[in-house]
């Protein structure tokens, strides 16, 4: 329970500071703790809660039109993604989840030089990729980050708008896969850690630069996703 609480707390804090980061940080560890399907589903549910809390703090800066432009293709892509999540065996799903995080991170880190997603076409591509990855691996954020970097999206508006977008996306992902059936203690620990994490992140957002926060998110996500991939490979090789 301590590891679960720490995972959720750190993820919620990074979400508040960077706009995206809860699932990127938390999902690989939740997969290790609860298995790929349940771990990803819990990450979707907790990410939704984090989105709502952060949105309540930042709603004045939301660009509704941009959020809807991204959400449309994302929700369409949720359908095939949900089929993949239900169909793949647990080790393969875990391997997919961990691998997608690593690939997404490399894409975002490389995007400092590559401005590849621009205009309406870029938004549609980013939204579709985000929707598929969110329902299969709970990591819809990197594709949106790539779009934001490609378009020079102002950080304050980006943080706020992505919360509304993610509320729509996580709601669609949960509707496609079902609500996670977990013990009350898991929900209690997760809920308390989520609220504390957002409050701490709200304070840190005043002093931590976006660049430094992004480096921390990337480091934590790489560790978690690499561990997930290794665990999945071991399970597949011993099957």
Domain residue ranges in the chain: 27-230
pTM: 0.79
**CA dist 189 → 5, 16, 194 (Å):** 6, 19, 8
Q: Are 134 and 37 in contact (CB under 8 A)?
A: no
Give the contacts of 96 (CB within 8 A, at least 6 positions apart). 84, 88, 136, 137
| Gap between the Cα atoms of 49 and 53, Å rounded | 6
DSSP helix/strand/coil, 133: helix
pLDDT over 60 at 213, yes or no: yes
pLDDT over 90 at 147, yes or no: no
pLDDT over 60 at 113, yes or no: no
Most confident of 26-30, 77-81, 132-136: 77-81
Q: What is the dihedral sign for C-alpha 159, 143, 43, 171?
A: positive
Q: Are 43 and 138 in contact (CB under 8 A)?
A: yes
Give the contacts of 119 (CB within 8 A, at least 6 positions apart). none
Most confident of 82-96, 109-123, 143-157, 185-199: 185-199
Q: Average pLDDT over the chain, rounded to whole?
A: 84
pLDDT in tens, 56-110: 988 999 999 999 999 999 999 999 999 988 888 878 877 887 777 677 767 667 7
Which two structure tokens, joined as six digits, stand for 158?
């980006």
Which residue in the block uniquely carries the two structure tokens 């706009």? 19
């Amino acid at each position: 329970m301590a590891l679960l609480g720490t995972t959720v707390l750190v993820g919620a804090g990074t979400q508040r500071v960077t706009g995206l980061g809860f699932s990127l940080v938390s999902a690989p560890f939740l997969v290790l703790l609860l298995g790929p399907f349940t771990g990803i589903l819990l990450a979707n549910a907790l990410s939704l809660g984090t989105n709502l809390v952060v949105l309540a703090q930042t709603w004045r800066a939301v660009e509704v039109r941009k959020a809807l432009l991204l959400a449309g293709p994302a929700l369409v892509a949720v359908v095939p993604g949900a089929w993949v999540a239900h169909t793949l065996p647990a080790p393969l799903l875990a391997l997919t989840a961990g691998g997608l995080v690593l690939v997404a991170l490399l894409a975002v880190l490389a995007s400092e030089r590559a401005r590849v997603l621009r205009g309406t076409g870029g938004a549609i591509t980013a939204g579709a990729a985000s929707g598929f990855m969110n329902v299969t691996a709970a990591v819809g954020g990197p594709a949106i980050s790539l779009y934001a970097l490609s378009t020079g999206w102002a950080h304050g508006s980006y943080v706020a708008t992505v919360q509304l977008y993610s509320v729509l996306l996580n709601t669609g992902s949960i509707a496609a896969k079902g609500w996670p059936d977990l013990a009350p203690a898991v929900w209690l620990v997760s809920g308390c850690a989520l609220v504390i994490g957002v409050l701490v992140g709200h304070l840190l957002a005043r002093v931590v630069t976006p660049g430094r926060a992004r480096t921390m998110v990337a480091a934590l996500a790489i560790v978690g996703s690499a561990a997930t991939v290794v665990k999945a490979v071991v399970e597949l090789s011993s099957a």
